Amino acid sequence: MELQAQYATAILMSAAGAALGAVYDIYRTCIKEWRFLRIYSALLDFLFWVFALIFVFTLLLGANDGDVRLVVFVLLTLGWLIYYKIAHPLVVASTRLVVRVVYSIVRFIYRVFVAVVVMPFVYLFKILITLLRFFDQGLRILEVIIVWPLGKLGMVLRLSFRGLKKIVRPWWRKGKDKARSLANKYKKLISKWLHGATSTDEDDEDET
């Protein structure tokens, strides 16, 4: 390996170690701050190491045609140690701040969305439910004021009609019988009168 390639490899691997340390801190801080990501922790760890492998191998291809040696891992570890001693607290603190700011912004947008879009529909639904309840109460009041008295009046009229029917029925039967007897008497009188008139006409014809 040429000296220039060795220097390039040393610088790139040290920088890669520091960069991977920063990425790992950012990733772990996000998981700590956003609890819903913890259930995906194993999957995210696997993806991180896959990314680290691809990242380092890509840098090695550009620096020394992908020649992997023990010194590469030493340089990666050295870069990570330098990062950890110098920039680790700053990266973790700044990441935590950014995550909390993003969370606050998202929560604010969510609250605005709920207040502007969702809550009007909720209030309209509550108003509709209240109006329906008032309408139902009004119908019940009308039932008490109108329907119930009418029902009682109908019951009274029905009972009165039954009582009146019991009272009138004997008189009705007597009147019916009297009317029938009178009709029979008039019928007999009319038939006698007609029979007598017919007999008189026959006598007149005989005399002639």
Mean pLDDT in residue range 78-104: 90
CA nearest to 80, candidates 32, 16, 176:
16
Of 63-77, 102-116, 162-176, the least confident: 162-176
Query: Which pLDDT does position 90 carry in this prediction?
Result: 92
pLDDT value at 94 more than 60: yes
pLDDT value at 188 more than 80: no
Backbone angles phi, psi at 67, to 5 degrees: -80, 110
Of 7-11, 166-170, 202-206, the least confident: 202-206
- Contact indicator for 13, 79 with CB cutoff of 8 Å: yes
pTM higher than 0.75, yes or no? no
Distance of CA 95 to the CA centre of its chain: 38
Tokens of 199: 């007999």
Query: Which pLDDT does position 156 carry in this prediction?
Result: 65
Cα–Cα distances (Å) from 197 to 9, 44, 71, 206, in that order, read 156, 131, 158, 15
Query: Which pLDDT does position 113 carry in this prediction?
Result: 92
Phi-psi region of 65 (alpha: psi -120 to 50; beta: other; left: phi over 0): left
Query: Which pLDDT does position 153 carry in this prediction?
Result: 67
Mean pLDDT in residue range 90-112: 91
Three-state DSSP string of 142-159: HHHHHHHHHHHHHHHHHH
Query: Which pLDDT does position 128 carry in this prediction?
Result: 92
Query: Looking at per-residue confidence, does 85 or 154 come out higher?
Result: 85
pLDDT tier at 108, thresholds 50, 70, 90: very high
Greatest CA separation for the chain: 179
Digit-coded pLDDT (tens) for 5-57: 677 778 888 888 899 899 999 888 888 888 777 788 888 888 888 888 888 88
